[in-house]
């Protein structure tokens, strides 16, 4: 094989692997504290399906969906959660619901703060 490579003007080089040892030290005092949910939070402020914080003023659509999901026959209590109101529902059934409260808590307020419209006039959009 070496002869074939040399005929093509190519040669194998011996493998020289050098590992340099280095030490990395981080000073975590520079970082802000991690946002953590207080164990003493009011269960009414948490989503019963994912234990994430709910928006202060959830939309009517969210409240309606929440009521509908809680009434499903497959809903079960989640005993391993620190949230006493925790409920279990298979992920595909609750995913859109939890995505909506996450959007209402962070995505929509961020968009409003950046000046994005809250109402879209589709008739004024270019085609």
Give the global pTM: 0.62
CA distance linking residue 97 with residue 11, whole number of Å = 61
* pLDDT tens figures, 22-79: 555 656 566 566 555 545 678 889 999 999 999 999 999 999 999 999 999 999 999 8
* pLDDT tens figures, 91-126: 999 999 999 999 999 999 999 999 998 888 888 887
28/1: higher pLDDT: 1
Q: How many other C-beta atoms lie within 10 A of the C-beta of residue 53?
A: 16
Do 29 and 78 touch, CB atoms closer than 8 A?
no
Helix axes 60-70, 91-102, angle to 10 degrees: 160
Q: What 3-state class would DSSP assign to 85?
A: coil
Q: How many other C-beta atoms lie within 10 A of the C-beta of residue 5?
A: 11
pLDDT surpassing 90 at residue 21: no
Report CA-CA distances (Å) from 112 to 31, 55, 81. Answer: 28, 15, 33
| Cβ-Cβ contacts under 8 Å for 89 (sequence gap 6 or more) | 49, 69, 72, 74, 75, 76
């Amino acid at each position: 094989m070496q002869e074939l490579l040399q005929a093509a003007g190519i040669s194998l080089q011996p493998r020289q692997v050098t590992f340099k040892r280095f030490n990395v030290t981080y000073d975590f005092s520079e970082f802000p504290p991690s946002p953590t949910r207080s164990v003493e939070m009011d269960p009414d402020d948490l989503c019963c399906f994912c234990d994430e914080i709910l928006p202060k003023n959830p939309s009517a659509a969210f409240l309606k969906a929440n009521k509908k999901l809680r009434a499903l026959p497959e809903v079960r209590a989640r005993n391993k959660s620190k949230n006493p109101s925790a409920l279990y529902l298979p992920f595909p059934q609750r995913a859109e619901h939890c995505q909506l409260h996450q959007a209402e808590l962070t995505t929509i307020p961020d968009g409003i703060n950046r000046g994005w419209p809250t109402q879209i006039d589709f008739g004024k959009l270019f085609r």
